[in-house]
Amino acid sequence: MENQRLLLWLSFIFVLYLLYQAWVTDHRPAVATPAESPVPTTSAPPPPGELPPVPAAPGSTPAATAAPALALAATGERIHVRTDVLDVDIDTLGASLVRADLLHYPVHKGEAQLVRLLDETPATVFLIRSGVRAVGGGPEPTHQVVYQADAKEYVLAPGEETVDVALSWSDAGLVARTTYRFTRGSYAIHLEHEIENDTGAAWAGAGYIQLERRHAPAKRSRTSIDAYSFTGPVFYNGHKYHKFELDDLAEKPVNETLSAGWLASIQHHFLGAVIPDPARTSSYTSSVQGDVYTLSAIDAQPVSIDPGQRATFAETLFIGPKLQKQLKATARGLELTVDYGMLTLIAQPLFWVLQKLHGLTGNWGWAIVLVTVLIKAVFYKLSETSGRSMAKMRKLQPRMKALQERYRDDRQELSRKMMEMYKTEGANPMAGCLPILVQMPVFFALYWVLIESVEMRQAPFILWINDLSSRDPYFILPLLMGVTMFAQQKLNPAPPDPVQAKVMMIMPVVFTGLFAFFPAGLVLYWFVNNLLSILQQWRINTVVERGA
């Protein structure tokens, strides 16, 4: 009976865990929109003559961080870029990325509206800016100057692997050429600032890149699970991955100098990341004003350029879905933005297996079915131990009830007689506990793999299941899962405690209601696992009843 009690507690803990996530999501501090609050934030359109500040150059005084005044006429134009995966706008004011639509990712399956990751709209602002700061004075090509572009429209033509978008600026003999390189099939963008010094004197500069975004966590709903995933700023220092709540980032800003790091803003399935050149040491900082956060990285060691010479400052951007293969190829540790939490060590191998199975089947639904079978096979012996214990306990139930009736007024003698019976029959009520406990981390890890992996977003299965990342539109799969849970209970011994027995009978109904609004991929996994458990337990019960 200990197995039943343990299963009940584990189920209860699982439900509490999901309820806790929902509670945290619902009780996050509300994000004020411009219509709700008259207090301006840094993401509102800048006043005439002002732009957001640039990060301080190494060795500069605090005054150097102030934004220089610009003439009202200093406005930019939009350069439109379209590749096979991205549709982007670049503002000639600062050569900044101000819009990015993901061409292969509609907001809702079957609809025309695309996921917009970068956006200059004040309510959802998300921008990436870059430039080079002058050290020791002189002209500087920051994101507050207006560039000139060779063209207003760039398209990745059929047969071409890359398209380069070039912008230029000059002042007092200092020439800056900024180039964005977009690659076919890739969400990584190479950014390069080439500085040519014709000022007649030595000039020193430090390249920088910054990301600014209004914090707007997804709201929980019956049709979306976006709110269960972390949304906000993250930082990788070359060794450890950090996620920040906005209040914590405001109290303790990022302030580190290192190489091989990066900064990003993530949400469910998507991210925007800035990766400085790992060959250089960068100073990473952050700031928060209202509900807007800014993450910046600037070269810690300025580069000196003699008259007539050139220097290049390079960074990498990643704007798109959390495709793990591309993330790993772009920067070390960037795949950690696929947030599997504490179970990453288990979840990453599980995803690798799922990916291989998808390569064989061409369908993520069948890959989930096969990985469920594989997990069941790996834990078969452990499950068999638990199953045999349950089968023996089920076989002994009539004798147990007789003992309970005979010694109902003597608990001590009842316990002694039951222990004697267990010893004689070779039954161990605790034998199944360890297998269940060992398997639970794997189940939770797979839960997060199915929720977090963008590869399964809007992926079809069969028949009426045309989106594994959304709920079953007709609730058929959750109902089937509930039926299998009920059938599974019938194969196991009923708890001797009437209260426990009633609770166990209610569990299939509770889980059916809970899973009704879960992604179909998760329900599919649970349904197949239940079917396999039923087959295994039925076989074990048959063998035990025959005395084998």
Residue 222 lies in a domain: no
Q: What angle do CA 409, 413, 416 make, to 5 degrees?
A: 145
Expressed in percent and rounded to 5, the helix, strand and coil fractions of the chain are 40, 25, 35
**Domain termination residue (choose one: 339, 365, 392):** 339
Residues 399, 500 within the same domain: yes
Residues 299, 365 within the same domain: no
Residues 330, 222: Cα–Cα separation, whole Å? 35
List pLDDT tens digits, range 298-346.
999 999 999 999 999 999 999 999 999 999 999 999 999 998 878 888 8
Which residues form the domain of 521? 2-22+348-545
**Domain termination residue (choose one: 339, 363, 384):** 339
The mean per-residue pLDDT over the stretch 213-229 comes to: 68
The mean per-residue pLDDT over the stretch 354-364 comes to: 93
Contact 136, 174 (CB under 8 A): no
Residues 457, 385 within the same domain: yes
Supply the DSSP string of 339-358, one letter for each residue: --GGGHHHHHHHHHHHHHHH
The mean per-residue pLDDT over the stretch 466-477 comes to: 88
Residue 196 lies in a domain: yes
Residues 353, 207 within the same domain: no
pLDDT at 340: 85
Residues 487, 404 within the same domain: yes
Task: Cite the beta strand spans of 114-250 per DSSP E.
Answer: 114-118, 126-135, 148-149, 153-155, 162-171, 174-183, 188-197, 203-214, 232-236, 241-243
CATH number of the domain where residue 274 is located: 2.70.98.90
Residue 59 lies in a domain: no
Residue 247 lies in a domain: yes
Residues 486, 20: Cα–Cα separation, whole Å? 26
Residues 460, 524 within the same domain: yes
Helix (H, G, I), strand (E, B) or coil at 251: helix
Residues 297, 381 within the same domain: no
pLDDT for residue 476 is more than 50:
yes
Task: Cite the beta strand spans of 83-146 per DSSP E.
Answer: 86-91, 96-106, 114-118, 126-135
pLDDT at 511: 81
Residue 13 lies in a domain: yes
Report the percent of the chain where pLDDT is more than 90. 50
Q: Over the chain, what is the mean pLDDT?
A: 81
Contact 287, 86 (CB under 8 A): no
pLDDT at 434: 58
- How many domains does the chain divide into? 2
Residues 289, 427 within the same domain: no
Residues 263, 403 within the same domain: no
Phi, psi of 266 (to 5 degrees): -120, 160
Rg (CA), the chain: 30
Residues 451, 491 within the same domain: yes
Residue 35 lies in a domain: no
Residue 389 lies in a domain: yes
List pLDDT tens digits, range 322-332.
999 999 999 99
Residues 487, 491: Cα–Cα separation, whole Å? 7
Q: What angle do CA 369, 361, 364 make, to 5 degrees?
A: 55
Lowest mean pLDDT among 97-106, 189-198, 450-459, 475-484: 450-459
pLDDT at 446: 82
Q: In Å, what is the CA distance from 97 to each residue of 43, 49, 127, 129? A: 15, 20, 6, 7
**DSSP letter (8 states) at residue 302:** -
Q: pLDDT: is 201 or 58 the higher one?
A: 201
Task: Give exposure, 76-89, as e/b (b: 16+ Cβ within 10 Å).
Answer: bebbebbbebbebb
| CA 292 to mean position of chain CA atoms | 20
Residues 378, 255 within the same domain: no
Residues 384, 469 within the same domain: yes
Residue 419 lies in a domain: yes
Residues 384, 504: Cα–Cα separation, whole Å? 22
Task: Give exposure, 333-353, as e/b (b: 16+ Cβ within 10 Å).
Answer: bbbbbbbbeebbebbbebbeb
Lowest mean pLDDT among 114-118, 300-304, 424-428, 503-507: 424-428
Residues 2, 496: Cα–Cα separation, whole Å? 11
pTM (2 decimals)?
Answer: 0.79
Count the Cβ atoms, other than its own, within 10 Å of residue 270. Answer: 22
pLDDT for residue 34 is more than 60:
no
pLDDT at 473: 87
**Domain termination residue (choose one: 318, 339, 360):** 339
Lowest mean pLDDT among 222-236, 241-255, 431-445, 453-467: 431-445
pLDDT for residue 72 is more than 60:
no
